[in-house]
Amino acid sequence: EAGVTQFPSHSVIEKGQTVTLRCDPISGHDNLYWYRRVMGKEIKFLLHFVKESKQDESGMPNNRFLAERTGGTYSTLKVQPAELEDSGVYFCASSRGRQETQYFGPGTRLLVL
Amino acid sequence: AQKITQTQPGMFVQEKEAVTLDCTYDTSDPSYGLFWYKQPSSGEMIFLIYQGSYDQQNATEGRYSLNFQKARKSANLVISASQLGDSAMYFCAMRGFNTGTASKLTFGTGTRLQVTL
Q: Nearest C-alpha of chain A: how many angstroms from B84?
A: 21
Query: What is the model's pLDDT at position B117?
Result: 93
Q: Which residues of A87-102 are buried (b: 16+ CB within 10 A; e: fewer)?
A: bbbbbbbbbeebeebb
Indicate yes or no: CB of B109 within 8 angstroms of CB of A42: yes
Indicate yes or no: CB of A106 within 8 angstroms of CB of B107: no
Neighbour tally for A51: CB within 10 Å? 12
Q: Is B84 on the interface with A (CB under 8 A)?
A: no
Express each pLDDT in A95-111 by its tens digit.
998 888 999 999 999 99
Indicate yes or no: CB of A43 within 8 angstroms of CB of B47: no
Query: What is the model's pLDDT at position B13?
Result: 97
Query: What is the model's pLDDT at position A81?
Result: 96
Query: What is the model's pLDDT at position B100?
Result: 65
What is the average pLDDT across B95-112?
A: 85
Spatial CA neighbour of A29 closest among A91, A100, A94 = A94
Express each pLDDT in B12-51 by its tens digit.
999 999 999 999 999 988 899 999 999 999 888 999 999 9
Give the closest of A42, A91, A98 to B102, CB-based. Answer: A98
Indicate yes or no: CB of B103 within 8 angstroms of CB of A109: no
Query: What is the model's pLDDT at position B101?
Result: 62
B9: number of CA atoms within 13 Å, CB side?
Answer: 3
Express each pLDDT in A32-78 by its tens digit.
999 999 987 899 999 999 999 999 999 999 999 999 998 889 999 99
Q: Would you say residue B107 has pLDDT above 90? A: yes
Q: Is B102 on the interface with A (CB under 8 A)?
A: yes
Query: What is the model's pLDDT at position A1?
Result: 67
What are the two backbone dihedrals, phi and then psi, of residue B85, each rounded to the nearest 5 degrees? Answer: -70, -5
Q: Contact, A37 vs A91, CB < 8 A?
A: yes
Q: How many CB pairs under 8 A join A and B?
A: 57
Q: Would you say residue A8 has pLDDT above 90? A: yes
Query: What is the model's pLDDT at position B4?
Result: 97
Q: Would you say residue A94 has pLDDT above 90? A: yes
**B45: left (phi > 0), else alpha (psi -120 to 50), else beta?**
beta
With residue A110 as reference, give the H or E element that holds it.
strand A108-112
Interface of A with B (CB under 8 A): 31, 33, 35, 41-45, 48, 55-56, 58-59, 89, 91, 93, 98-99, 101-107, 109
How far, in Å, CA of B42 to CA of B40, rounded?
5
Express each pLDDT in B57-81 by its tens digit.
999 999 999 999 999 999 999 999 9
